[in-house]
Amino acid sequence: MDDKSAGYWSATLGLLTKILIVWFLVSFGAGILFADALNSIHLGGYPLGFWFAHQGSIYIFIALIFFYAKKMGDIDEKFDVHED
């Protein structure tokens, strides 16, 4: 594997690692582990832990999809493997 390929996969795996960490913190962390602490804060009349477990995580996941698409496009262009 040449340096360009290794750099591309390193950048791709770095991005995926960051996204998976956010995904874990939002889904498992905010919805389950930290729910009791977050429930002292209310959003729209509902405890924040409850909100993350039922709605907030979905919004974050959709944002992660768009973030991933944008950043992968940037990585593809940086390593000249983008589609024309």
Length of the chain: 84
Alpha-carbon dihedral sign for residues 13, 15, 16, 17: positive
CB 64 within 8 A of CB 22: yes
Tell me if residue 40 falls in helix, strand or coil. Answer: coil
What per-residue confidence (pLDDT) applies to 2?
86
Q: Residue 26: inside a domain, yes or no? A: yes
Per-residue pLDDT tens for 26-78?
Answer: 988 888 898 899 999 998 888 998 888 888 889 999 999 999 999 999 999 99
83 falls within a domain: no
Q: What is the pTM of this model?
A: 0.83
One-letter amino acid identity for 63? A
- Say if residue 21's pLDDT is above 80: yes
In the chain, alpha helices (H): 3-24, 35-38, 48-51, 57-78
Q: Which residue has the tokens 């977050």?
A: 38
The pLDDT of residue 1 is above 80: no
The structural domain count of the chain equals: 1
Whole-number pLDDT of residue 25: 92
Assess whether pLDDT exceeds 90 at residue 3.
Answer: no
Q: Which domain holds residue 74?
A: 3-78
